[in-house]
Structure 1
Amino acid sequence: MNPALLLLADSRFPAGGHAHSGGTERAIASGAVFDVPSLARFLHGRLHTTGALTATLTAAAHTHATTTSPPIPQPPITPPPTTPATTSIPPPAAAPPTTSASNLPPAATRSPATSPPSTDAGTRANAGVGQPVSGSPWVLLDAEVDARTAAPAQRDASRTQGRLLLRVARRVWPSPVLEELARAVPSPHHPIALGAVAYAAGATAEEAAMAAAYHAISGPATAAVRLLGLDPVAVHGLLADLTPHLTAIATEAHLTVTKARSTAVADAESSTHPGFPSRPPDPADPRPWLAALPAYSSPALDLLAEQHARAEVRLFVS
């Protein structure tokens, strides 16, 4: 497991996740959650609906980042320096530095298509090179999350968390992928941001899906402890009981995305039309396989989210 996954799943990561209860606060106010057994049922249902969906969408965002960007290099483990036994002959004087690619830092040797765009506002406003923002694949992925999130309150909460996560991650794990996402979608949905951030941190798609599934239950569980004063040991016992489900959901999410994408590519390669030459599929275009992604729903969670948004007194944002 990539150690960065521990940071992404940690509630202390400064991305604002601790301020969201995932519907737990309103479920408690309505009487649906009142003790440990009722919380267990709530978490189980949330994991297999919202959690499974966000895990799949997170894996999709990671897969898209993988197909459009070079692999993230991992820092090598260097042995400690050793003192030479004999005095070495100093090398000849080096030539004046040039601007060749070999003298540039790794980020500068990337091709123009993958180099991070400038963060200067004027440069962004006048950017006319490359694909327009309105047609960016990140916009298409983000729209898929919109289409699968029925409640406006849920959409707002997702975009708020996605924006904060992206803002923090751009400082923690600087990456051209994150800059491209921020330029295309300044306030992306949380699964889209999480998938891109996990890629930038060096995690796999399945690990990213695992973080998304865990996020779907860890925040609500912690909120229940704060709101009901439940035994934190008992609540963490519930989370431990759900770990096999987390593994299964993360694996299924990764397989679903992989199968959808491979099927779409195979269909595109085999499709022909009289009078039109066959054109190879563009791996950077996610549209052929987005429609195959699942659309799990939970009307009860949607209703709780809308009720919470209209509540006059509340402790959590959502």
Structure 2
Amino acid sequence: MPGPSPDLVLALLADARLPVGGHTQSAGLEPALTYGGLTAADVPAFLGGRLATVVAVEAGTAVVARHRALTGGALADVEEAWAARTPSAPLRESSRALGRGYLRLAQRLWPGAEPLAGLGRTPPRPLVLGVVAALAGLDPGRLVRLCGHEDAATLGAAALKLDPLDPADTVAWTLAAHPRIEELARRLAPLTEPDEIPATGAPLVEELSLVHARTTQRLFQA
């Protein structure tokens, strides 16, 4: 019996109800609203900034990890490249927490799959997503779209918990972001080597994550 189509797997992985801990994240929105002076009206611009910086790093890392998983290459230098482009310790820890959730799910869905063994015990999310994409037959373009859509949807879901908004507005934000996600897919899909991963810093996101990590009254981990 053939396996599920890549499009169905993509829909599954993009589902916010996936048991990987995504509900604990705000994609940086909570600290941005609390300490960064943003309002709900600024969220679309904030999302655009994340797509150009944070998401570009995450998606690029995932694409290279997918390539390594398919070619039997090591993932250690891919993880090092991701860490060098993610200087905030709280953001690295958050990504590893999500990575453990994805890894647990992947081990359940693809038991004994050799590429999963190379991820170690605390892999960051983009590495696991890259390996999962290889196992599920997702091409690089779909993988980048998944990373971009997930970030946009995470922001939208967090916004509804942090500010009284019309849910239709958050869906409109996500849809409006899709042309930028398509541009990312065109640019990042050909990547194969760690040094090709974008090094697009997001100093404000990094700084606010450090402030957020010291806060005891918060809804989200990051």
Normalised TM-score (structure 1):
0.65
2:39 maps to which residue?
A: 34
- Larger % of helix: which? 2
CA RMSD of the aligned region, Å?
Answer: 1.6
Q: Distance between the aligned counterparts of 1:53 and 1:175, measured in 2? A: 29
Does the aligned pair in 1 maintain the 2:69–2:134 contact within 8 Å?
yes
Are 2:198 and 1:294 equivalent residues in the alignment? yes
Q: Residues 314 and 9 of structure 1: is their aligned pair in 2 closer, same or farther, counting only changes over 3 Å?
A: same
Shift of 1:177: 3.6
Q: Distance between the aligned counterparts of 1:3 and 1:251, measured in 2? A: 21
1:14 maps to which residue?
A: 19
Runs of 4 or more, structure 1, over 4 Å off, are: none
Q: Aligned pairs, how many?
A: 217
2:59 maps to which residue?
A: 55
Are 2:150 and 1:215 equivalent residues in the alignment? yes
Aligned-partner residue type, residue 237 of structure 1: A
Shift of 1:186: 1.1
Deviations 1:1-50 (A, max 9, x none): 52101111111000111111121111111253322x31111111111111
Q: Distance between the aligned counterparts of 1:2 and 1:67, measured in 2? A: 23
Does the aligned pair in 2 maintain the 1:173–1:201 contact within 8 Å?
no
Q: Distance between the aligned counterparts of 2:197 and 2:115, measured in 1? A: 23
Structure 1: gaps of 5 or more residues: 69-135, 262-288
Percent identical among aligned pairs is 30
Structure 2: gaps of 5 or more residues: 1-5
Q: Secondary structure at the match of 1:15?
A: coil
Q: Residues 212 and 44 of structure 1: is their aligned pair in 2 closer, same or farther, counting only changes over 3 Å?
A: same
Aligned-partner residue type, residue 196 of structure 1: V
Q: Distance between the aligned counterparts of 1:290 and 1:56, measured in 2? A: 9
2:50 maps to which residue?
A: 46
Are 2:174 and 1:228 equivalent residues in the alignment? no
Q: Secondary structure at the match of 2:158?
A: helix
1:82 maps to which residue?
A: none
Q: Residues 236 and 47 of structure 1: is their aligned pair in 2 closer, same or farther, counting only changes over 3 Å?
A: same
Normalised TM-score (structure 2):
0.92
Does the aligned pair in 2 maintain the 1:177–1:200 contact within 8 Å?
no
1:312 maps to which residue?
A: 216
Q: Give the one of 96, 116, 139 matched to 2:76.
A: 139
Does the aligned pair in 2 maintain the 1:177–1:196 contact within 8 Å?
no
Q: Distance between the aligned counterparts of 1:29 and 1:179, measured in 2? A: 38
